[in-house]
Amino acid sequence: MPGAPGGRQTDVVESRRGARTVFMYPSISVSKIFSLCTNPKLLYCYQLLSAIRHLLSTIYMEIQIVSGTLDVFLRLLVALMLGAFVGVQRSLAHKTAGMRTYALISMASSVLVIFGELLLQHYTGSGQGDPTRIIAGIVQGVGFVGAGMIIFRDHHINGLTTAVGLWVATTIGMASGLGLYGIALIITILTLFVFSVMWFLEEKVVEIVDEHSN
């Protein structure tokens, strides 16, 4: 349609009844678009919005890093405390591996599992190894430590329960490292039950058997 006065374009729409409606809208030339793009105020607003976006992105990344760090700290703390709880009973029983040994093994297992989890997230689909093998490596490594706790003396084996307890502390650490706090707590409670209550029952049974044998 021909241009209307004032540099506006017009469209004429004719209805079914014959009525004609004229729509007018301003025409935008290339020079006007260029002037709008080079307007200092608009450029300043764009730079301000870009700076705000960058700031929000930085804050979001820092929050993610802090939350991830707190999560790792919580996992290690849970593994350390639960392992120490199991080790307290061993210390009270005057065993070689006590609270510190159990706590460190539990926390170390948690650290290695966290490493495996991070590697699994990083190398998923790349075919560059299987990070879950770390768990098998933990079990084998603790097996060597536990073997050093077992002593054969006077036709008796000593330290077998302590060595097995170290393996249990490993599972506590692995569960905590995976964020399975409920399972880690259940393992701790059952282990303390075995070390305390069942130890007491075992001693009573041995006393009764010795009395009847004599």
Q: Report pTM.
A: 0.53
For residue 78, the model assigns a pLDDT of 86
Instruction: Return d(Cα 113, Cα 206) in angstroms, integer.
Output: 40
For residue 3, the model assigns a pLDDT of 47
For residue 54, the model assigns a pLDDT of 79
Instruction: Return d(Cα 3, Cα 26) in angstroms, integer.
Output: 10
For residue 76, the model assigns a pLDDT of 84
SS3 for 174?
Answer: helix
Q: For the chain, what is the total number of helices (H) and then of strands (E)?
A: 7, 4
Of the candidates 164, 172, 161, 158, the residue with the CA atom closest to the CA atom of residue 85: 172
For residue 123, the model assigns a pLDDT of 61
Instruction: Return d(Cα 169, Cα 182) in angstroms, integer.
Output: 15
Instruction: Return d(Cα 194, Cα 189) in angstroms, integer.
Output: 9
pLDDT in tens, the chain (214 residues): 444 444 444 444 444 555 555 445 555 555 655 565 566 666 667 777 787 887 777 777 766 665 667 787 888 888 888 888 888 877 777 776 777 778 878 888 888 787 777 777 666 655 555 656 776 777 777 777 766 666 666 666 677 777 777 888 888 888 888 788 888 888 888 888 887 887 777 777 777 777 777 6
For residue 90, the model assigns a pLDDT of 75
For residue 20, the model assigns a pLDDT of 55
Spell out the residues 6+ positions from residue 178 whose beta carbon is closer than 8 angstroms to its own: 113, 117
